[in-house]
Amino acid sequence: RIAAEAARLCGRAIVPEICPIINLEEALEWPAERRIFFWEKAGQLLQEPLGNFFEIAVYIGPEGGFSEEEVNLARKKEVSLRSLGPRILPVETAALVALTLVTYQLTFR
């Protein structure tokens, strides 16, 4: 209901799907055309255009960041590792920044 109301207020034609909570390994298996794992030590920013993708999965770590084991799992699953920049952000801010970057790359590139 909240997603539908937010989509209406924003003028979105498609209501985002809100899925149940799952573990990271299951999340990394989620079907998507592009999967982006934001990690503070990735070194590479999200700079490539995303205009050709319809389904994009975005992974944001918990407070304290992803563990090395979780990062290695993402690498094993061939998920793109990207950084949000030089600062460590609170998880709420990191999610907004990540979605802003993805939206920019989808819209303006």
Q: Mind listing the pLDDT tens digit for each residue in 11-31?
A: 988 888 888 889 999 999 988
Distance from C-alpha of 108 to C-alpha of 69, rounded to nearest angstrom: 35
Please count the other Cβ atoms lying within 10 Å of the Cβ belonging to residue 75.
11
State the residue for tokens 């949000």.
84
- Long-range CB contacts (within 8 A, 24+) of 95-104: 95/60, 98/36, 98/38, 98/58, 98/60, 99/58, 101/46, 102/36, 102/46, 102/50, 102/56, 102/58
Which segments within 1-109 are labelled E, that is strand? 34-38, 56-60, 80-82
pLDDT for the residue 52: 79
Distance from C-alpha of 49 to C-alpha of 59, rounded to nearest angstrom: 18
In this prediction, residue 107 has a pLDDT band, given cuts at 50, 70 and 90, of confident
pLDDT for the residue 109: 60
Determine if the pTM surpasses 0.85: no
